[in-house]
Amino acid sequence: MEVHFPDVTQRQLPRVCSDHFPILLDCGGIQGGKRYFKFKNMWFNSDGFVNRVKQWWSSYDFQGSPSFILARKLKALKHNLKQWNEQLLSNVLLQQRSLLEELQGLEGEEEARTLSESENTCKSQVVTELKRVLLIEEISWRQKLRALWLKEGDKSTKFFHRVANSHRRNNAIDTLMVD
């Protein structure tokens, strides 16, 4: 068996609720393959996305046949988009956290006293920006899950986890057949 499945290990776990010892069969985890580049629809909701792509595209300078130049430009653009996407995602999460904290602070003040006109304006701007940031996150989830009913706008965390875990289970080895 070790020859065919070198990463598989088994160990005995402590008895907790039974008079039997449970056995853990560890298959070495799920090995991730190469991550393919995918265009993300949420990028269109980011300020200046189209201008950024135009700027990158015009900055590339390659020599060769037109098909070679196109291929090299697409490869360079893919690299730039991947880097920018990492910054955007971390930015979106930080923005979301910051805006929620700011909104909670303003709502706390509102409970204690009446907000001034400038504070009300600030609160409405925070709410608008938070909605924009949440929309970017939702668009990302929609594209990842490709669920028809989600396109109608239903945002169910339980559903997200169920589908994400389902994908992970489908990619895992759940049974072994020994010859």
- Are residues 71 and 109 in contact, defined by beta-carbon separation less than 8 angstroms? no
The conformation of residue 45, written as its DSSP 8-state character, comes to: G
- Indicate whether 150 belongs to any domain: no
Query: What number is the average pLDDT over the span 45-69?
Result: 92
Give the pLDDT of residue 152. Answer: 45
Is 15 a member of any domain? no
Q: What is the pTM of this model?
A: 0.49
Q: Which one is predicted more confidently, 35 or 16?
A: 35
Q: How confident is the model over 78-93, as a mean pLDDT? A: 85
The reply to whether 128 falls in a domain is: yes
Residue 97 structural domain: 36-144
pLDDT of residue 140 exceeding 80, the answer is no
What is the H or E stretch that residue 61 is in?
Answer: none
Q: Could you tell me if residue 78 is inside a domain?
A: yes
pLDDT bucket at 51, cuts 50 / 70 / 90: very high
Tens digit of each residue's pLDDT (9 = 90 or more) over 153-176:
455 666 667 777 776 776 766 666
Average confidence (pLDDT) over 79-108: 85
Residue 75 domain flag:
yes
